[in-house]
Amino acid sequence: MPEKKDRIGFVGLGIMGKQMAANLMKRGFEMIVFNRSKKAVEELASVGAKAAASPKEVARNSDVVIDMVTDAPDVEEVLFGKSGVSEIARNGLVVVDMSTNSPANARSFASRLAKLGVLFLDAPVSGGDKGAREATLTIMVGGKKDVFERCKPIFESMGKEIVYMGESGSGQATKLCNQVAVSINTLATCEALLLGASENLDPNDLLKVLTSGAAGSWNLANLGPKIVKGDFEPGFKAAHLSKDLRYVMQLSEADHLMLPGSSVVYQLFNSVLAENDGEKGTQVLAEVLEKLAAHETLSKQEK
């Protein structure tokens, strides 16, 4: 007989979470879901998921509970708040935090849950809404190796590159390294297109050159065309990247690291938030640079 699959609970059905839960359902996992906004719950319930009224109800009916929420306070609320997962804690239950926060938070969550007999993995992801939709996410995991092995089929239903990074907190530490590279590459993409626009280069031809040579990157290929079109819809929200960079700055201070590129791009994303553009995609950084320029540039060319 085939091995019985874990029942999966999913809390947090935003831009990425809903797609990740949907992919788990496509792979035959029994699902129960919760989200503060009910529309996403209703959409998944219409194709076979069970709807829950709270994280507590999710935990009661799951073997593995996944949360995909915004920040550490949200994870805290899901796990330890009123009607949270901890109220129905039991030996062998697994919690997988796939949101992005910090290594210290991950270690704290793991320790507190362990006292209740609950196992914990920190497993943040990279790949944006496209990776979530196409089940091609990169998933970086911290926690006990045997718990990772148990959950690996779950991760493989949502992602393409699944990497065990080590003890609790290692997944979050890896994600923050990822966000350093992502944010600086986002700035590089915006600056390259800004310079090209100021020299009256055709932006689409410029993208062809940049993406095909040594400058090529995921950012150029995926965000470059959006910037040229003036499309700032979020695949990953600017506010979320700003939050992640805040954790990077905390780590750099604690570890006495000089991270000048990260520091500069963090301040630039603070400017994005000051412009009330945090709900837009990270490519909206281009607009901040435009406002600092002496003349109209990028998205103005295509509008």
- Residues identified as active-site: 175
**Cα distances (angstroms) measured from residue 240 to each of 74, 110, 250:** 13, 23, 16
Give the number of other CB atoms < 10 A from CB of residue 301: 16
Task: Report helix, strand and coil shares of the chain as percent, to nearest 5.
Answer: 55, 15, 30
Tell me the CA distances in angstroms from 204 to 186, 224, 281, 293, 299, one per residue in order. Answer: 17, 9, 20, 21, 12
Tokens of 286: 């281009």
Per the DSSP assignment, residues forming a β-bridge with 23 are none
Which backbone phi and psi does 251 adopt, to 5 degrees? Answer: -65, -40
Q: Do residues 65 and 55 make contact, with C-beta atoms less than 8 angstroms apart?
A: yes
Question: In what helix (H) or strand (E) does residue 220 lie, and over which residues does it extend?
Answer: helix 218-222
Token pair in block for residue 30: 């029994």
Kindly state the DSSP code that residue 49 receives in the 8-state scheme: P
